[in-house]
């Protein structure tokens, strides 16, 4: 055979099957473009001037890996539709004298054409859009915009190599399928229908139980740490359960529709239900895939959008004042008012020297220790804590803060009184129902009153481990006994510190100047020179809200940006699955509708039948996805607490908006793909050509 025959046959095959190949090429190009953009942003210098650039690079690099893995899996999935469509043609070539080696050469040239077009188009698109993507991300991060256009050679090489490998694997998989199929089986591949599937009640029940179990885990979890472990377990259960329910449950659903004679024996229902029942196993898997992709999109975009738009809320909770200074103190002898006033005076003098007058100050003493709550008992011994390690350990772990009554009254304008052994309690979670705490190796403290708020700075903090604040008459009397507990390294488990918050009423630049001066002047290496060691200061940390704002924008903005990119990728995947599902089923149903047209079915009847068929199952993935995210809401909300976000109304709003927008988009896709299906089964495309 002539050497140019195989490239010509491959090109003609792609051209004649453009309805199947063009969406695949567009999708492959889109995957290439998205991957290049992620690599371009992660290795480029656009984010060098943004605070937290290292964190952003790690997040973007992780996003690149996600796109790479998903691209490989998804392109294998969609390529299977193309191979199935081509098998009849390969069978004909085989009968006409072409061997499996010749067919492999055709597949090689087809794959080469598609790979070259996809990679080149994707890279050109990625290079063209990369600057826009860069500007969009930098703008989201409130960074400095640079308008110079650049191309990352490293990103180009990585992208070309990655997708070259993926297309090589696609070629080998296609050759394998043709190599181990006879000419007869290749010819009949398109006409081989599924046997009427039996609804497997057992697998359906298992699927329902898995979903119920996942939902139970999601609504039961009460803390962020447990949510982190439970989330992955619940995700796996939901994925498996969704596939089992759609595959087994959809078969049972079709059987029930067939038994309902008043519904089944109607022109617009009879054909649709009977054709669906013969391919519901494969149909169910496709619908489950669409459902999982929809759920992933909704979870990602709602949670990352909530983090981004709730950033100021998180910041205000962590930093109730512009500057946060924390002194670590060695023991109780350093907690005298004289010592603490001396610390504040040193900070105030430094601010005044730099032309800044401290305002809206908050100051209080505290001691804190973590323990596991078991009824009224608080387990503090490290050995016993290790023995109780497990999921319940994190659910019951609490950080206890002891603050003196005098500080609480002075900071809140209160006049509360307490006797020895009593305390006012602020419970961040609000789930402790007892009336006292019995601390191991320490005292039993009776709860005199429950508080709805606490000192402003403490009330504004959100921790992964929930807080319980105890306002006591005297810190050292309340912590007697537990102040001698030590960990395995001999370090004391309880910590003492003094918090000092202040505003500057200056712009962020002036705040940064004060931050830099304080950080340099009171560095740990200078404690001896400035007398901090004599006072008993063991550590000093400084928080600066304006700088943290930049850090938060770099993290939350990058997560939101990554959520948008991955959502676009997953939505594209869902659209292509829906499209190929409609096209492949259209070709399978074409002969059935031809017969029905010959016995009197009009095109209007065909349209109504198609609408009945699609509406029967098409919106099930959307309904299940909405149900999944509704039950996942509590566990995602707990995960958001790990980022310091406890704005439930905002998360509810972003979730609802995400579901509505996705539903509208899904409806548009339904309309477009149903038209493609109609054109095939009604012969409209053939009649107009």
Contacts of 132 (CB under 8 A, 6+ apart): none
- CA-nearest of 276, 257, 253 to 588 is 276
Alpha carbon distance 20, 88 (integer Å): 15
Distances (CA, A) of 305 to 85, 230, 448, 571: 41, 22, 42, 17
Report the range out of 52-66, 169-183, 629-643, 669-683 with the highest average pLDDT: 629-643
Q: How far is CA 362 from CA 256, 456, 487, 498, 501, in A?
A: 68, 8, 32, 11, 5
C-alpha dist (Å) from residue 236 to 232, 262, 416: 6, 40, 51
Q: pLDDT grade, residue 496 (50/70/90)?
A: confident
What average pLDDT does this structure show over 239-254?
77
Q: What phi and psi, each to the nearest 5 degrees, are found at residue 471? A: -85, 115
* CA atoms of 578 and 580, how far apart (whole Å): 6
Q: Which two tokens stand for residue 605?
A: 């009847």
Q: Output the pLDDT for position 253.
A: 66
DSSP 3-state of 223: coil
State how far the Cα of 661 lies from the Cα of 247, in Å rounded to an integer. 27
Indicate if the pLDDT at residue 102 is higher than 50.
yes
Q: Tell which phi-psi region holds residue 370, choosing left (phi > 0), alpha (psi between -120 and 50) or beta.
A: beta
Structure tokens at 227: 């949510």
689: confidence class by pLDDT, cuts 50, 70, 90: very low
Whole-angstrom CA distances from 667 to 10, 289, 292, 601, 673 are: 36, 17, 17, 27, 10
In angstroms, the CA 396 to CA 505 distance is 41
pLDDT at residue 47 in the model: 60
**Given a cut of 70, is residue 673 above it in pLDDT?**
yes
Ramachandran category for residue 683: left, alpha or beta (phi over 0 → left; psi -120 to 50 → alpha): left
- As a whole-number percent, the residues of the chain with pLDDT over 90 amount to 9
The CA R_g of the chain, rounded to the nearest whole Å, is: 33
E strand map for 535-610: 537-544
Whole-number pLDDT of residue 610: 67
Q: Collapsing DSSP states into helix, strand and coil, what is residue 418?
A: coil
What is the rounded CA–CA span in Å between residue 347 and residue 68? 51
Among candidate residues 318, 359, 302, the one with its CA nearest the CA of residue 546: 318
CA 339 – CA 535 distance, rounded (Å): 7
Distance between CA atoms of residues 525 and 280, nearest Å: 72
Domain extents for the chain? 1-192, 193-319+547-689, 320-546
What distances in angstroms separate CA 119 from CA 11, 83, 127, 158, one per listed residue?
A: 17, 20, 12, 11
pTM: 0.71
Q: Is 88 exposed, middle or buried (0-12, 13-18, 19+ CB in 10 A)?
A: middle
Q: Rounded to an integer, what distance in angstroms lies between the CA atom of residue 90 and that of residue 187?
A: 8
Tell me the pLDDT tens digit for each residue of 274-294.
Answer: 655 555 555 667 778 888 888
Tell me the CA distances in angstroms from 78 to 24, 380, 404, one per residue in order. Answer: 7, 56, 66
Burial 486-506 (b: 16+ CB within 10 A, else e): eeeeeeebbebbbbbbbbbeb
Give the tokens for residue 646: 């406890």
Report the DSSP pairing between strands 377-379 and 436-439: parallel
Residue 494: CA count within 13 A, CB half-sphere = 25
Which of 253-257, 418-422, 459-463, 636-640 is the most confident on average?
418-422
Tokens 């499209």 identify what position? 579
Q: What's the CA angle centered on 252, arms 246 and 254, to 5 degrees?
A: 95
Q: Which of 145, 140, 36 has the alpha carbon at shortest distance from 554? A: 140
Confidence band, pLDDT 50/70/90 cuts, at residue 262: low
pLDDT value at position 268? 56
Q: How far apart are CA 494 and CA 401, in angstroms?
A: 10
Packing angle, helices 508-521 and 337-353, rounded to 10: 130
pLDDT of 270 strictly over 70: no
Q: Measured between alpha carbons, how far is 573 from 79 in angstroms, rounded to an integer?
A: 12
| Average confidence (pLDDT) over 152-172 | 90
User: HSE on the CB side for 489, CA within 13 Å?
Assistant: 3
């Amino acid at each position: 055979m002539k050497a140019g025959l195989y490239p010509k046959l491959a090109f003609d095959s792609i051209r004649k099957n453009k309805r199947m190949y063009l969406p695949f090429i567009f999708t492959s190009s889109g995957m290439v473009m998205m991957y290049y953009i992620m690599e371009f942003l992660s290795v480029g210098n656009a984010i060098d001037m943004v605070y937290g650039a290292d964190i952003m690079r790690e997040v973007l690099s992780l996003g690149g890996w996600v796109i790479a893995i998903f691209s490989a899996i998804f392109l294998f999935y969609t390529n299977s539709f193309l191979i199935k469509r081509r098998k009849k043609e390969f069978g004909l070539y085989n009968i006409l004298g072409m061997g499996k080696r010749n067919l492999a050469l055709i597949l090689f040239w087809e794959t080469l054409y598609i790979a070259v077009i996809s990679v080149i188009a994707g890279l050109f698109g990625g290079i063209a859009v990369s600057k826009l993507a860069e500007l969009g991300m930098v703008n989201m991060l409130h960074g400095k915009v640079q308008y110079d256009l650049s191309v990352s050679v490293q990103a180009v090489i990585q992208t070309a190599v990655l997708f070259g490998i993926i297309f090589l694997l696609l070629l080998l998989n296609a050759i394998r399928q043709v190599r181990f199929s006879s000419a007869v089986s290749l010819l009949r591949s398109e006409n081989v229908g599924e046997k009427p599937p039996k609804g497997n009640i057992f697998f359906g029940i298992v699927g329902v139980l898995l979903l119920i179990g996942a939902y139970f885990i999601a609504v039961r979890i009460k803390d962020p740490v447990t949510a982190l472990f439970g989330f992955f377990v619940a995700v796996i259960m939901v994925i498996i359960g969704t596939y089992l329910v759609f595959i087994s449950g959809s078969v049972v659903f079709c059987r029930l529709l067939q038994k309902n004679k008043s519904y089944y024996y109607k022109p617009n229902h009879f054909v649709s239900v009977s054709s669906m029942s013969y391919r519901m196993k494969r149909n169910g898997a496709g619908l489950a895939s669409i459902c999982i992709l929809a759920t992933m999109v909704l979870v990602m975009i709602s949670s990352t959008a909530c983090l981004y738009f709730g950033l100021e809320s998180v910041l205000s909770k962590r930093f109730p004042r512009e500057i946060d200074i924390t002194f670590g103190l060695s023991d109780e002898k350093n907690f005298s008012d004289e010592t603490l006033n001396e610390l504040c005076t040193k900070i105030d003098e430094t601010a005044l020297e730099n032309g800044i007058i401290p305002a809206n100050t908050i100051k209080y003493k505290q001691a804190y220790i973590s323990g596991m709550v078991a009824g009224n008992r608080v387990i503090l011994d490290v050995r016993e804590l290790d023995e109780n390690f497990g999921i319940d350990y994190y659910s019951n772990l609490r950080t206890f803060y002891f603050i003196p009554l005098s500080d609480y009254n002075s900071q809140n304008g209160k006049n509360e009184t307490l006797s020895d052994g009593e305390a006012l309690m602020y419970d961040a979670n609000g789930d402790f129902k007892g009336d006292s705490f019995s601390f191991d190796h320490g005292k039993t403290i009776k709860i005199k009153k429950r508080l709805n708020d606490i000192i402003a700075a403490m009330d504004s903090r959100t921790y992964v481990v929930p807080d319980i604040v105890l306002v006591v008459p005297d810190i050292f009397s309340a912590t007697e006994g537990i102040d001698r507990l030590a960990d395995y390294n001999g370090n004391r488990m309880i910590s003492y510190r003094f918090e000092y918050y202040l505003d500057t009423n200056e712009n962020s630049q002036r705040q940064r100047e004060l931050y830099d001066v304080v950080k340099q002047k009171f560095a740990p290496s200078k404690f001896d020179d400035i007398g901090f060691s004599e006072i008993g200061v063991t550590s000093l940390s400084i928080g600066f809200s304006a700088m943290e704002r930049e850090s938060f924008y770099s993290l939350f903005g990058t997560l939101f940006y990554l959520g948008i990119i991955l959502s676009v990728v997953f939505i594209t995947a869902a659209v292509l699955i829906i499209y190929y599902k409609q096209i492949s089923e259209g070709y399978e149903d074409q002969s059935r509708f031809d017969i029905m047209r010959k016995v009197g079915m009009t095109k209007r009847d065909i349209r109504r039948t198609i609408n009945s068929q699609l509406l029967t199952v098409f919106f099930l993935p959307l309904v299940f996805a909405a149900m999944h995210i509704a039950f996942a809401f509590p566990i995602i909300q707990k995960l958001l607490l790990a980022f310091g976000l406890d704005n439930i109304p905002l998360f509810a709003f972003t979730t609802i908006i995400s579901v509505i927008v996705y539903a509208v988009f899904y409806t548009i896709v339904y309309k477009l793909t149903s038209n493609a299906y109609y054109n095939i089964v009604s012969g409209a495309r053939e009649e107009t050509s």
